[in-house]
Amino acid sequence: MHTDEGITRRQWLGVLVKALATVLAVAYSIPALVMLIVPAFRRQNPPWIKVGSLHEFPSDEPKAVTLSYQRRDGWVVRTVRSTVYVVVKPDGSLKVLSNICTHASCAVRWERSKNAFFCPCHAAYFDADGRVTQGPPPRPLPEYPHKVEGDLLYVRLENV
């Protein structure tokens, strides 16, 4: 049987079945695509990064360690380098401090003669615990989470 435009009922059914199959194929593929794409953009916990053996860190002054690790941003994986200071306190407890000043993000360095961290950008000082002792920084040096397993120190370089 022909319609007014000359298309048979069988042809209409064929078009309808193909359209329905296309809609179903797209609908079924969406969850699979989401499962592939979403993990790349999901925020993951930063990994624990090995800093070194405990015996490498003196108890008389903070020691700078430059760490290199892989960071994933979406589909992009890049290598990031960060410097931290490992501070061993008299009671044997540890702190891992950022070397980034909280004022304008300059790199601080340990000054043995002053027994303090010094920020050269605006002449600020922080004590060995990272507390501001002089200058404009609004907060102490950020402290990173750390853990000790056996003789090894690990740090998690979160945005702190």
SS3 assignment, position 96: strand
Looking at beta carbons only, is 52 or 135 nearer to ligand FES? 135
What is the closest distance, in whole angstroms, from the C-beta atom of residue 137 to ligand FES in the complex? 5
What is the closest distance, in whole angstroms, from the C-beta atom of residue 114 to ligand FES in the complex? 15
d(CA 146, CA 95): 8
Name the strand (E) or helix (H) holding 27: helix 9-41
d(CA 68, CA 154): 13
Amino acid at 70: Q
CB 154 within 8 A of CB 146: yes
Looking at beta carbons only, is 51 or 99 nearer to ligand FES? 99
What is the closest distance, in whole angstroms, from the C-beta atom of residue 52 to ligand FES in the complex? 27
Looking at beta carbons only, is 51 or 119 nearer to ligand FES? 119
What is the closest distance, in whole angstroms, from the C-beta atom of residue 120 to ligand FES in the complex? 8
Looking at beta carbons only, is 86 or 101 nearer to ligand FES? 101
**Residues in the site for ligand FES, rule: CB under 6 A?**
101, 103-104, 106, 119, 121-122, 124, 135-137
What's the distance, CA 5 to chain centroid?
Answer: 63
